[in-house]
Amino acid sequence: MKEPIPAGAPNAEGLSPCPFCGSTPITMMTPAGQQRVACGSLGCVAAYRPDGLVERLPEAHEWNRRASVPSRIEGIPLFALGDFTLKGGQASRWKIECDALSAADWEALAVMAAPVVGRFQRVEAVPGTNAEKFAAALRREVEAEVGAPLLIVDDVLTTGGSMERQRAGREAVGVVAFARGPVPSWVVPLFSWRAAAPPSGIPAVTDSGTYGELPASIRRLLPGHEWDNMTRDEQRAWLIERLAAVKEDHP
């Protein structure tokens, strides 16, 4: 298991090294003359972004508190092996265990998501402790704005059903930390997994269960590993195009 970066000795300003990369932090001043802290390494998730607001950076006491939080919860694997039943009801030999992520991890994920989601009116979490941790971190990272879209978040997307139920037909944008199945067109995953293309002549084996919705005679015609990563609209368009081609070949 990867060890968390040690907090190390504070610098001359009393600031601990960056908890994400170990670099020396820098201080910046807001237009109101308040001090804020960012990582001094430009490639780090805790660095100041030119398109960001200095006011959103943490104060010194918040920075040092963040630096004292381990980057992983000891003893819990992020990717676990076993016999699991996923939220969508599918059986799987592996799962993404978000209980392994610490508060610092969720803050980093919120920093990654901020440029993607932009402004939002409010954020709602799919029921579940880890989704709420993600939502809370996003509330701290992104300023709410009246008239902006509703933001819906989840930790792991498997079928998209939980996100759709939370959306309940409303206009919204969505973001998930991890996706391991087909992603709705209104949702953006920060990290996504999809099965690799099988060798020629070997049928594709998927973990998401999407193929189970169609008869076996139709499933044999589908583009294997690509199908589970299409949105519903893309799947529908592919089927319409395929049926049109068959009609032309057999008038």
Structural domain includes residue 94: no
Residue 111 and residue 153 in one domain? yes
The number of folded domains in the chain is: 3
Residue 206 has pLDDT above 50, yes or no: no
Domain interval for residue 233: 210-249
Structural domain includes residue 183: yes
Give the helix ranges, DSSP H, for 68-154: 103-117, 129-141
Structural domain includes residue 145: yes
Structural domain includes residue 198: no
Mean pLDDT of 130-154: 87
Residue 120 and residue 181 in one domain? yes
Structural domain includes residue 149: yes
Q: Which residue has the higher pLDDT, 90 or 160?
A: 160
- 178: domain CATH number? 3.40.50.2020
Mean pLDDT of 74-93: 80
Residue 124 and residue 188 in one domain? yes
Structural domain includes residue 118: yes
What are the tokens at 136? Answer: 């809370």
* Residues 84-96 pLDDT 10s: 888 777 888 888 9
Residue 108 and residue 180 in one domain? yes
Run of H or E including 248: helix 232-249
| Beta strand segments in 119-163, E | 122-125, 150-157
Residue 57 has pLDDT above 90, yes or no: no
Give residue 5's pLDDT: 38
Give residue 67's pLDDT: 52
What residues contact 160, with CB distance under 8 A and at least 6 apart? 181, 182, 183, 184, 187
Structural domain includes residue 58: yes
Amino acid in position 130: N
Residue 222 has pLDDT above 80, yes or no: no
